[in-house]
A = this chain, B = another copy of it.
């Protein structure tokens, strides 16, 4: 059963908030962790694990091992893949005609079947109790419909899965908020972030599909593609929004959203 969906950021600042907005954001992330404590497994969509241009990925490796922090912030840890759920998602996505690949590493099973985790997974996971999970990856050069359909497939599969599962959408938003940041300044970052939080709060996520490609490019998010997966999942299993938060303590925007079943 798909028991809840959470959009969670992966910026280091939520680990050590320095302002009130970020402190509140971290508080909402902790509350997501509290609510998800009764869940048995997670599906985690991340933009900072394996990256392929035009294929979606489902990580099959048995052991998921902390490997890469951002700016020296390391969160050690090892997680296990729910391989049965990974297999079901992969197989259903293939049946749906989606361009998806199964990703393993070194060995097909056993102790050497391992895959690295980056800050994109480790920071959301830091706020959650450890559970078996399935890491899935979006792609930027597939159609918007493909990403929405992938979300629908994930929700379909999870709904008929005997465990209580949470879908985690790891996402940060516009990266061009600060003229001195690594991506410089673009007004579209602020505009994009405000729009995303508005669409979430007003239950209008479907309007994501209308966003102009150039606008997204200028806003420099790493959220848009995962949000389309979230949209697909919510289309299949309608939920109620229970909490949101947003903060932009450095050059990029971070938001949280918690959806639970009605």
Contact = CB atoms under 8 A, between A and B. Distances in A.
B102 A53 contact: yes
| Identical copies in the complex | 2
Contacts of A54: 101
Nearest to A118: B106
Interface in A102-154: 102-108, 112, 114, 116, 118-120
Contacts of A39: none
A226 interface: no
A102 B53 CA distance: 7
Given A68-B114, A112-B68, A106 B49 contact: yes
A52 B102 contact: yes
A50 interface: yes
A23 interface: no
A67 interface: yes
A221 to B, nearest CB: 14
A51 interface: yes
A164 interface: no
Contact of A68 (B51, B103, B106, B118): B106
A116 B61 CA distance: 13
A105 B49 contact: yes
Interface of A: 48-55, 67-68, 70, 101-108, 112, 114, 116, 118-120
